[in-house]
Structure 1
Amino acid sequence: MLMKSLSLENVSKSYGAADVLKNISLEAEEGEFVVLLGRSGCGKSTLLHAIAGLHPINKGNISIYGRVVNDIPTRQRDIAMVFQSYALYPNMTVADNIGFPLKMRGLQKPDITGKVLDVARTLQLEALLDRLPRQLSGGQRQAIGRSLVRDPKIFLFDEPLSNLDASLRVEMRAEIKQLHQRIGKTIVYVTHDQIEAMTLATKIVILNKGEIQQIGTPAEVYHHPANLFVARFIGSPAISLLECTVEGRELAETLVCGKDEHQLNLPVRAADKLGHGKHVLLGLRPEHIRLGRHQGAAARASVGLVEPTGPEDVVFLDIGGQKAIARFPTNAVVQGQIIDIDLDVSRAVIFDAVSNQRLAANFI
């Protein structure tokens, strides 16, 4: 059975009257890759800094491997932190930069050399140990090695790739994922980039205005969003939301979406009856809208803007007077065309238009 490497219980943090973190509770098992995801100002970096001990919390408990660390200073929490900046000493070689924390702890030179070599092999940096930081590329300058040499219980990453260009971010994402697989340590990673979150995480924690919106695997937050915020935040192109009204009662409820000849009538079965006249939003990912007639809910749509992306086109549609986005094969449709589509409603999600919470409902 895996141990709980990190546990947060009702953690709150405020600055004066401003509540930055509001009753945050989450757990990480040993070896998990936990990504704190959200827009700027949502509290994700504050939460990471609270785990590190850089910001004292106002309420709650933070535990690392069962030990409450609220009053334990950062240096005694057995964590290592990688920041956005590279924070390398320009006059030191890569080997000296990696080994510097051990030197400060009083280790002897032979011990430092051995540990530096072990880390260099893990990071595949053996050929770079004699170089100075200015002789390294952006990806090579990442200060992961200095943290890894300490062999901490938990790694904390604060948007480490935000200073890199797009192609180098892709390369470094792969390096960090492979590193996690090799060392098997718990990582808590902050980012505002959903692609980073989806590709790296075993568990995603989505934050908004200091509150957790959902905790789940990448597949769970994408396919089963807990609320409208999560549905809109995760996914590119964004989820399409069709306004619908519930008609009927008892065992014969139907979602009526759109109007005129393009109106959709979708029979639905809800755990709790939706109620006649209730307003809901039907959420459809781009891949849930397919070209042609298959086995879904058939509909007609007019084609608006078509954006070529290379392997496919992102297509903006009008379905019953409402906007939607789909992915179609390249050059399959042109702007202004009226097309047949079907909707894979078996994978769609329904939200209450008032509370914005996901409803427990399935299509028949």
Structure 2
Amino acid sequence: MLNFEILASDGKARTGILKGTHGQTETPCFMPVATAGAIKGVRWEEVKSSGYSMVLSNIYHLYLRPGTELIENVGGIHKFVGWDGLILTDSGGFQVFSLGDLMKLTEEGVYFRSHIDGSKHFFSPELVIEYEEKIGVDIGMVLDECTPYPATREYAKHSLERTYRWAKRSIEARTSDKTAIFGIVQGGTFDDLRILSAKLTSDLPFDGVAIGGLSVGEPKEDMYRITSLIAPLLPYEKPRYLMGVGKPEDIIVAVEHGVDMFDCVMPTRNARNGTLFTWNGKLNIKSAKYKSDERPVDENCDCYTCRNFSRAYLRHLFASKEINALILNSIHNLHFYAQLMEKTREAIKNKQFKEFKKEFFSKYKTDEESFYYLT
């Protein structure tokens, strides 16, 4: 059973406690992505020590390998992967719809071929809820039709209507209150369709509501416009989740509009590619300018990597293709994101979020124009 309590607010930004069957987490929170039940490059001890108590997995990947039946038989997802905190599973809708010709969409559900071996499978809203309940996740996302970008108005409307019909079927398919279920708002980049989807989804008895179909290639201003428009329309007393959004600057802007939950592969994927996050912006450890740099990645960071190793050493490890390079980079990036969320929560509690945002963007260099963030 899910319980969400808002503890403090500053404008539309809010902080609270999200409690589930396997523990609790403070919000706003960032969920590291453990797609197949593991976060690449780090152990659970390092995830916990960085300050995380909730991670995200994917029912599509777990269903294909090792299989939901196997996970259920060994005692559920938490026991199987060795994580005793909260677990949210994405339904895999985005992954299924990304299969292109290997996928066929119908009103009943989605027929698709495995990206692993080409075998044939079928997902329906009811089956996704069944799988999520069987493996015992704390929060399960409904199967939705993830509207691509770009999409015509007609397509976006048809897509959100199907997502709504599937949402109602998902509610009816529930058999356990141990797994909370979140609905998903769609509607493309069309404001009126987004508003309609938000109302329809909010009227259903979900435990939380997510904004989907963003960060899929649309212009930054569209993502911000829709987030600022829709987040305040979602039920105040329920957690609000912005799916797949993970750039630090985007998180700060979304929190300002009342979003509580985030996820993205960015911290660990970027780490494996040699990109590290600092309070001054991103740092490319592959650059030759760090060859003799004895400073830590970020002098304001107290993670294991920054306490013990220099930029020069991390560059050497990456150039030498040492596995430790990926591990140490991932530890740092995960720690940075955890600290970002902790400082965000503290700013809200102290009614200083606007000041925190201003200070953050005065130092953090982004790839886009600053007017996106300072308005």
TM over 0.5: no
State the TM-score bracket (shorter-chain normalisation): 0.3 to 0.5
TM-score (norm 1): 0.34
Greater gyration radius? 1
> Whose helix fraction is larger, Structure 1's or Structure 2's?
2
> Whose strand fraction is larger, Structure 1's or Structure 2's?
1
TM-score (norm 2): 0.33
> Which is bigger in relative contact order (C-alpha 8 A, separation at least 6)?
2
